[in-house]
A and B are shown apart, each in its own frame.
Chain A
């Protein structure tokens, strides 16, 4: 069965420092992987995706993620965090052999302090 794990409920970083939000997955075959961000009282915004190709994927707002097949991970990263990056981040996986549905991780609350 497909699953996604975000091992950290919350990540705290200081503004200007690099940030990492972790995600591991379990799916048969080659997964499609996604990161979404949710700001308070707003819907989900697409950040980036990995389907195939270069393992390092660059997305919106300076975020990037690295696909690591051997570790079944897709960690979200940003070299220099901003206070405005504070939000709830969701990792999601899609098994293309099972239609278009996404399986979401439980979410990680990112807090960036000035």
Chain B
């Protein structure tokens, strides 16, 4: 299994500011992902965080809005830039373990005023 520490757990931010979310895993994992869960909706993949190279973004998500870092195999950050109320969501990081299990962090609940 994998233990994922994600922080902050929640934040309230002002429009136009940026928030960086951290995801720390207790073991080295090859694949890390960032998802968004908008209120009352399912999860949508934002991007795959690649170690040592630029993240791979899904359709509808761009690096300028959601820059991602992955400096090593246990850590990643997601920044939500120039926030607007539409960015109010739960953001979750996820990892795949060698046993093909996918684990999720506890999520960051973001509210933008």
Contacts and interface: CB of A to CB of B under 8 A. Distances in A.
A22 interface: no
Contact of A100 (B58, B96, B109): B96
Contacts of A42: 106-107
A92 B94 CA distance: 13
Contacts of B104: 36, 43-46
Contact of A43 (B41, B48, B92, B100): B92
Contacts of B102: 34, 46, 92, 94, 100, 102
B45 interface: yes
A49 B101 contact: yes
Interface residues of B, number: 23
A62 B81 CA distance: 42
Contacts, number: 52
Interface in B65-113: 92, 94, 96, 100-107, 109
A45 to B, nearest CB: 8
B107 A101 contact: no
Given A32-B100, A90-B43, A106-B41, A43 B107 contact: yes
Contacts of B41: 106
Give the one of B31, B48, B104 with max A CB within 10 A.
B104
A46 B100 contact: no
Interface of A: 32, 34, 36, 41-46, 49, 51, 90, 92, 94, 99-107
Contacts of A90: 42-43
A104 B42 contact: yes
Given A36-B104, A44-B104, 16 more contacts: A34-B102, A43-B92, A43-B104, A43-B105, A43-B107, A44-B43, A46-B101, A46-B104, A99-B48, A100-B33, A100-B102, A101-B33, A101-B48, A102-B102, A103-B45, A106-B42
Given A43-B92, A46-B103, A100 B42 contact: no
A23 to B, nearest CB: 12
Contacts of A32: 100
A105 B37 CA distance: 12
22 contacts: A32-B100, A42-B106, A43-B105, A43-B106, A43-B107, A44-B43, A45-B104, A46-B102, A49-B100, A49-B101, A94-B102, A100-B33, A100-B96, A100-B102, A101-B48, A101-B58, A102-B33, A102-B94, A104-B43, A104-B44, A106-B41, A107-B42
